[in-house]
């Protein structure tokens, strides 16, 4: 299944995941993440260089490894194949920190309320 990828935007129009990616200093690493997201858009769960993991309910996580770093992007899929990237962070501990999950959960809730 192919995905249509959208960045979740806060009420002021800013997209935190887009900002996270843009803030990566290493141009090659940033390009690899963007290429991986393009692969997800084209090939869905068959994309190369990414793992998919369910966190809870509709909340999922993309696991992307580049240049020795472990990037995580929380997302939700709505209305068939519409993927919204909610929150991203650089993984430094074995488990996802609860504050990162809470942030993603709040954004997902806000998005689902807006889409009603």
The residue with tokens 């998005």 is: 111
The third-level CATH classification (topology) of the domain covering 4-114 is: YaeB-like fold (3.30.2310)
pLDDT in tens, the chain (116 residues): 789 999 999 999 999 999 999 999 999 999 999 999 999 999 999 999 999 999 999 999 999 999 999 999 999 999 889 999 999 999 998 888 999 999 999 999 999 998 87
pLDDT value of position 116: 77
pLDDT at position 80 is 86
DSSP 115: T
Per-residue model confidence (pLDDT) at position 1: 76
> What is the edge-to-edge ordering of all strands in the sheet holding 82-90?
4-7, 82-90, 69-78, 59-66, 50-56
Cβ–Cβ under 8 Å, residues 42 and 5: no
Query: What 3-state DSSP class applies to 89?
Result: strand
């Amino acid at each position: 299944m192919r995905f249509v990828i959208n960045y979740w935007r806060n009420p002021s129009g800013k997209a935190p995941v887009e900002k996270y990616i843009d803030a990566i200093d290493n141009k090659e690493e940033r390009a690899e993440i963007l290429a991986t997201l393009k692969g997800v858009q084209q090939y869905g769960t068959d994309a190369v260089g990414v793992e998919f993991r369910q966190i809870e309910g509709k909340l999922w996580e993309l696991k992307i490894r580049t240049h020795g770093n472990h990037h995580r992007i929380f997302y939700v899929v709505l209305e068939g194949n519409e993927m919204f990237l909610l929150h991203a962070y650089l993984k430094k501990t074995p488990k996802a920190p609860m504050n990162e999950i809470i942030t993603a959960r709040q954004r997902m809730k806000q998005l689902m309320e807006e889409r009603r």
